[in-house]
């Protein structure tokens, strides 16, 4: 984007970095770093610690992160089943992994929760419709609906690992993997300014439905090479007080 409008907050979005050569990714200037999950291949402690170190080194004043289906140790419920399937030699300490991320400089880890950036509400959730047998899987239909109903109506920026149906979700197989229930909740109730996701690497890019701008910020391509540039947008924070000029 061009120069930032005066008073605006610039969000810089990345996703699906999968532990790949982050030092080679050119990070533009901005205020808030958003990462939409899949920061590792399988959530091993050494991957989490490398990612936390990279986050700490980033100059943004806020760094907002969610997990994705690859970040196995962040889904305590499924990890008891996934750790052996994905080759972990033992069950690593999930809370230690989460702590490493949460304690990185300036980082906020969102898990079906929100935070405020100068009055701009950012909500984050790692869930997605079933995708293999990885972490944070939900059956389509009611389980997805219930999860998306938790998104607060006042959310200005919604970050989920998986895309909404029809936006940043076209797979190389020509199937659309996005969630219909997420799309419905975003379009009929939440109407955020931005929806940020990753997960479908080959669907990197920006789309709109005329109300919400949908950003698939997948940094890695289908071959897990970190070739896609970070995507940026600017949001004006709400005005404070009752004065007008």
Closer of 9 and 72 to Mn ion (Cβ): 72
Q: Give the binding-site size for Mn ion (rule: CB under 5 A).
A: 5
CB of 120 to Mn ion, least distance (A): 26
CB of 243 to Mn ion, least distance (A): 46
CB of 201 to Mn ion, least distance (A): 6
Closer of 81 and 116 to Mn ion (Cβ): 81
Closer of 69 and 114 to Mn ion (Cβ): 69
The token pair at 148 is 């998306």
Q: How far is 45 from 100, CA to CA, in rounded Å?
A: 9
CB of 197 to Mn ion, least distance (A): 9
State residue 199 phi and psi, 5-degree precision. 80, -50
Q: How far is 19 from 111, CA to CA, in rounded Å?
A: 20
Closer of 9 and 197 to Mn ion (Cβ): 197
Q: Does 126 bind Mn ion (CB under 5 A)?
A: no
Closest by alpha carbon to 25, among 13, 41, 36? 13
CB of 50 to Mn ion, least distance (A): 16
The answer to whether the CB of 157 falls within 8 A of the CB of 121 is yes
Site string for Mn ion, 57-86 (x = CB under 5 A): -----------xx-----------------
Q: Distances from the Cα of 185 to the Cαs of 88, 141, 177, 180, 188, in angstroms?
A: 36, 12, 17, 9, 6
Closer of 39 and 60 to Mn ion (Cβ): 39
Q: Distances from the Cα of 128 to the Cαs of 10, 11, 29, 58, 107, in angstroms?
A: 26, 23, 30, 28, 23
Q: Does 207 bind Mn ion (CB under 5 A)?
A: no
Q: Does 199 bind Mn ion (CB under 5 A)?
A: yes
Closer of 167 and 199 to Mn ion (Cβ): 199
Type and span of the H or E element at 97: helix 94-102
Q: Does 156 bind Mn ion (CB under 5 A)?
A: no
- In the region spanning residues 4 to 43, those forming contacts with Mn ion, defined by CB under 5 A, are 16, 38
Q: Does 178 bind Mn ion (CB under 5 A)?
A: no
Task: Categorise residue 159: left if φ over 0, alpha if ψ from -120 to 50, beta otherwise.
Answer: beta
CB of 198 to Mn ion, least distance (A): 6
Closest by alpha carbon to 20, among 59, 50, 62? 50
CB of 22 to Mn ion, least distance (A): 14
Interface contacts to Mn ion, rule CB under 5 A:
16, 38, 68-69, 199
């Amino acid at each position: 984007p061009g120069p930032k409008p005066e008073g605006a907050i610039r969000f810089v979005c990345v996703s699906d970095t999968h532990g790949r050569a982050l030092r080679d990714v050119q990070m533009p200037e901005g205020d808030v770093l958003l990462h939409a999950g899949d920061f590792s291949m399988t959530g091993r402690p050494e991957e989490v610690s490398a990612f936390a170190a990279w986050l700490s080194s980033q100059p943004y004043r806020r760094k907002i992160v969610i997990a994705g289906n690859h970040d196995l140790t962040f889904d305590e419920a499924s990890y008891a089943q996934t750790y052996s399937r994905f080759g972990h030699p033992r069950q690593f300490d999930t809370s230690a992994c989460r702590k490493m991320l949460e304690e990185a400089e300036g980082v906020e880890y969102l898990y079906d929760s929100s935070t405020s950036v100068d009055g701009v509400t950012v909500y984050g959730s790692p869930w997605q419709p079933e995708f293999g047998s990885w972490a944070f899987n939900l059956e389509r239909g009611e389980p997805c609906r219930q999860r998306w109903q938790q998104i607060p109506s006042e959310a200005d920026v919604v970050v989920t690992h998986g895309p909404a149906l029809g936006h940043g979700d076209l797979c190389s197989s020509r199937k659309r993997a996005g969630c219909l229930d997420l799309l419905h909740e975003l379009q009929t109730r939440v109407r955020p300014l931005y929806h940020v996701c990753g997960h479908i690497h080959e669907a990197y890019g920006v789309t709109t439905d005329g109300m919400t701008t949908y950003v698939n910020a997948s940094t890695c391509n289908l071959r897990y090479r970190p070739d896609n540039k970070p995507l940026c947008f600017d949001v004006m924070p709400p005005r404070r007080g009752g004065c007008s000029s």
